[in-house]
Amino acid sequence: MDKGLTFEEFIEQAQKETEIGEDCEMYKAMQTINGKWRMVVMYQLSKKDSFRFGELQRTLPNITKSMLSTALKELEENGLVTRIQFNEIPPRVEYSLTDKGRGLFPIFYDIYRWLSEFPPKGR
């Protein structure tokens, strides 16, 4: 399994990128998952093969229909979520993670493990 860049290799790569913006690979990567709801929506989608919109919204009680719709559209545009529309009456749409979306979870788990090494202050 590819372990990615070492810290030194990462720093070397970062120093080659002179500005943060459209051409910066790290910036592009962070923009893909940036946003209040994107990672939470992806986490919920990881729990089953697919969700219908209303079913997914019920698992996220503090999200509005508009915010969920926006998050799903952005995740789909970034290739992390797939939307399948079934031509039925009534219409049915299901959302699921793509292979690219599922590929982020080892990274999320590494972040979780890293954070668990630093207990919250005051405890």
**Separation of alpha carbons 54 and 19, rounded Å:** 41
Higher pLDDT, residue 104 or 4: 104
| Sign of the torsion formed by the C-alpha atoms of 15, 16, 19 and 20 | negative
Q: Provide the angle, in degrees to the nearest 10, between the axes of the packed helices 65-77 and 38-45.
A: 80
pLDDT above 90 for 29:
no
Q: Give the model confidence (pLDDT) of 103-117 as tens digits.
A: 999 888 888 888 888
> What domains lie within the chain, and their CATH numbers?
7-36 (no CATH), 37-116 (1.10.10.10)
Beta strand extents in the chain (DSSP E only): 51-52, 81-86, 92-97
The predicted model scores a pTM of 0.76
Q: Provide the angle, in degrees to the nearest 10, between the axes of the packed helices 38-45 and 25-33.
A: 70
